[in-house]
Chains A and B, each alone.
Chain A
Amino acid sequence: MTSHLALTLAQSGSQWIDFNVGLLAERFWANTVDGLAYGSIYALVALGYTLVYGVLRLINFAHSEVFVVGAFGAYFTFVGLGYKPGPTLASGLGPLIANLVLAGAVAMIAAGLIALLLERVAYRPLRRRNAPRLVFLITAIGASFAIQQGFYLWRGANPEPAIRLVRPEAVFDIAGTRITNIQIVVFVASVVLLIVADRFVGQTRLGRGIRAVAQDPDTAALMGVNKERVIMLTFVIGGALAGAAALFYVMMIPQGVLYNGGFLLGIKAFTAAVLGGIGNLRGALLGGLLLGVVENYGQTLFGGEWRDVVAFVLLIGILMVRPTGILGESLGRARV
């Protein structure tokens, strides 16, 4: 099927939306690979939404700004290490990995700390007062707004010039589809991080605390779980994963870091979390990968400017048809 179908909405003959099936067939596997790499970033950010939602039943609207803090953290680490925007410099593999790990650590710590700060400043006082959920959401919006505009005042409306440590090079070539080194690293690292997070929540003592609070906060408190500490831990884990996602984002996306770059990504990550079943850790991975892939197909099918619309339509569609997501909400459910 290589014919170019055009969906003509207007009688005047002007095409409102291109509907390019042929191109999609041509780029199907390339889109899938690229979508999986994007999707793993969504999944990492989605995990932050999912964890906080599972424990507090709260959509942490400001999580996108946690991601942005991580992205700036990674960026400034690169700058501090002496990298400059422009063509990628050739450097040894050893120092490169060390630098990436350092940037990742800085991003994760910065994002984790800002998530913790957010919890302490914006959410804890409300929890103390037993405020209704809508109030939490409005506070979260305020916090998101404040952080975003703080970055705007500091760094201005133009994105930071992109610094690329790794030059994308095709490593594999499977049936005509080129898979680059960055895509492999991002995908594998994200999946490993997500598995670690899943094991942590599922099998460690602290993770058991998180699940207990998610299931029934009062009973958990009676059983000796320190609720406040669990909540802090949840925010820190979510923030750190967003920081890791931010590093991958900075590595992969050529546009550079922008003060409001978190908004769209945050919405998409939230979509991913809902898609997989919010509160469900494995759902976040599934939803993230699915969203990344679908979005790429949509981009090829309708054209680049419709990419975000595809994500929004998916979000609205899922919430309408199956608000519990593909795998269902399960962090609070008892698991042996």
Chain B
Amino acid sequence: MSAEVTTRTQASEGTRQPFGQRVRDWWNSRSRLEQWLMIIPVVVLVYLLPVMNFFPLSTEPWTDYELALFNAARLGLIALGLNVVLGQAGLLDLGYVGFFAVGAYVAAIMTSRDSFLTDPRYSWVVVVPVAIAITMVSGVVIGTPTLRLRGDYLAIVTLGFGEMVRLLADNLEPLRGNRGFQDVGGPPGTYANGSPIFTQGDGKPWYWLTVTFIIVILLLIGNLERSRVGRAWVAIREDEDVAEIMGVPTFRFKVWAFVIGAGIGGLSGVLYAGQVGFVNNQRFDVVTSILFVAAVVLGGSGNKLGVLLGALVISYLPDRFQLAPEYRFLIFGIALIVLMIFRPQGLLGARQRLLARGRQAYQRLVGKPEPVATESALIDSGKGTNA
């Protein structure tokens, strides 16, 4: 495979390139302004999706279309967060659902009347930062001891922590186990006639809210990736030992990746809890965690647009084509195997590219977009350590 990649890069000097490559080259040779002008209509289209409830898009009558969109967007947010951990820093976290659970439970405890707090009627505006902060702290708590481990050991330990979060929710009396928390609060706001905007039945406002969060996080994470932090993550992903030798404080940046990923997971947990309005111990099992990993890996870990696409495929398509939930998991399992064998980089793979300034400099000097390599340690670099 690595030989194939090399030939592909060489071929890009010559005649006809693959379609994806040409699209990327074309996109990369636009100026920043042109790129933004083209992004805006796409964003508008994404915001308009919930009102386009007609034939090729609609999931009705089987699934509520707006809620299907919200669920897809929510999974997209989760995938973005997990992508920081798995795609950027290359840490396989099988317990990501734990952070999602922490976020949901913080929201529940702070807003539900079943909570053990004496006056659990905090505004949602307060809940969001508190929940994110608490999940980030839990990220530090889980990350500090575990991130000294590597590879598959890390995966198993995070799996253990994820399960422990669920088991704590099962067993600790104040977290109410299966009975759960009723009436988890949502964002404030009412229509002119006084009825609340965010209700459980209406997916539209939730979808718009989630998409807004996604866009904000895309911008923040994008900036982070172009900074020293992002470079450190990529270095750790590609070869941790070399990164350490080159002076990257690998442990600290791994914890950062973990914490930032955790914060995004917590945010999506709050959104989930608010929309469903009910939190109990049922939705935070390993299967859910693996579903998150599947979304990231399927879309292409390390590629932000890729993981959003992956989330869309995993969440929206089964709703659209009325696939029974039982079959979904079977198909995702098989898809993971097939994908890893035939297209380990996912639908849209991660790209190794020059970072922001370097890209512009290269383009000015050479007069064409920079070459983009598709190799990555996560994908297939031919330096596998196995027998």
Contact = CB atoms under 8 A, between A and B. Distances in A.
Interface of A: 10, 12, 14-16, 55-59, 121-122, 125-127, 129-139, 141-150, 152-153, 213, 217, 227, 231, 263, 267, 270, 305-306, 308-309, 312-313, 315-316, 319-320, 323
21 contacts: A12-B116, A14-B174, A16-B172, A56-B387, A58-B386, A127-B387, A129-B341, A129-B384, A131-B386, A132-B381, A134-B377, A135-B340, A137-B92, A139-B337, A142-B294, A142-B336, A153-B326, A267-B156, A308-B167, A313-B164, A319-B153
A146 B145 contact: no
A130 B384 contact: yes
A134 B151 contact: yes
Instruction: Pick from B146, B327, B334 the residue with the most CB of A within 10 Å.
Output: B334
Given A16-B173, A309-B171, A323-B153, A316 B336 contact: no
A312 B148 CA distance: 18
Contacts of A263: 286
Given A132-B385, A145-B332, A319-B149, 4 more contacts: A129-B1, A138-B293, A141-B293, A141-B333
B310 interface: no
Contacts of B92: 134, 137-138
A146 B380 CA distance: 23
A320 B145 contact: yes
B330 interface: yes
B273 interface: no
Interface string B157-170: 10111011001101
B263 interface: no
Contacts of B160: 267, 312, 315-316
A315 B387 contact: no
A217 to B, nearest CB: 4
Contact of B156 (A15, A55, A132, A315): A315
B152 interface: yes
Contacts of B330: 145-146, 149-150, 152-153
B318 interface: no
A142 B340 contact: yes
Question: Is the contact region of chain A dominated by helix, strand, or loop, or is it mixed?
Answer: helix
Contacts of B159: 267
B118 to A, nearest CB: 10
B152 A59 contact: yes
B157 A315 contact: yes
B222 interface: no
Given A16-B174, A121-B337, A143-B337, A57 B163 contact: no
Contact of B152 (A122, A133, A153, A320): A133
B341 to A, nearest CB: 5
Given A152-B326, A213-B387, A145 B340 contact: no
A139 B341 contact: yes
Contact of A137 (B152, B167, B173, B379): B152
Given A59-B152, A135-B344, A316 B161 contact: yes
Q: Does more than half of chain B's interface fall in helix, strand or loop, or is it mixed?
A: helix
A323 to B, nearest CB: 6
B253 interface: no
Contacts of B167: 305-306, 308-309, 312
Nearest to B237: A134
Interface of B: 1, 90, 92, 94, 116, 145-146, 148-149, 151-153, 155-157, 159-161, 163-164, 167-168, 170-174, 286-287, 290, 293-294, 297, 326-327, 329-330, 332-337, 339-341, 344, 377-387
A149 B386 contact: no
B151 A308 contact: no
A70 to B, nearest CB: 19
Nearest to B340: A139
B148 to A, nearest CB: 8
A119 to B, nearest CB: 12
A136 B386 contact: yes
A332 B352 CA distance: 37
A150 B116 CA distance: 41
Contacts of B335: 142
A87 to B, nearest CB: 31
A292 B118 CA distance: 42
Nearest to B177: A305
A296 to B, nearest CB: 17
A201 to B, nearest CB: 17
Nearest to B378: A134
A145 B297 CA distance: 15
B387 A132 contact: no
B64 to A, nearest CB: 25
B173 A133 contact: no
| Max count, chain A CB within 10 A of own CB: residue among B153, B171, B290 | B171
Contact of A142 (B172, B334, B379, B382): B334
Closest 4 CB pairs of A and B: A142-B336, A146-B333, A145-B333, A217-B387
A173 to B, nearest CB: 34
B164 A312 contact: yes
Contacts of A316: 145-146, 157, 160-161
Nearest to A217: B387
A125 B341 contact: yes
B156 A270 contact: yes
A130 B386 contact: yes
A145 B293 CA distance: 12
Nearest to A157: B326
A61 to B, nearest CB: 8
Given A309-B164, A309-B171, A312-B167, A141 B336 contact: yes
B257 to A, nearest CB: 15
Contact of A146 (B152, B172, B337): B337
A138 B336 contact: yes
Contact of B386 (A14, A57, A143): A57
A213 B337 CA distance: 25
Contacts of A125: 341
Contacts of B382: 130
Contacts of B155: 59, 137
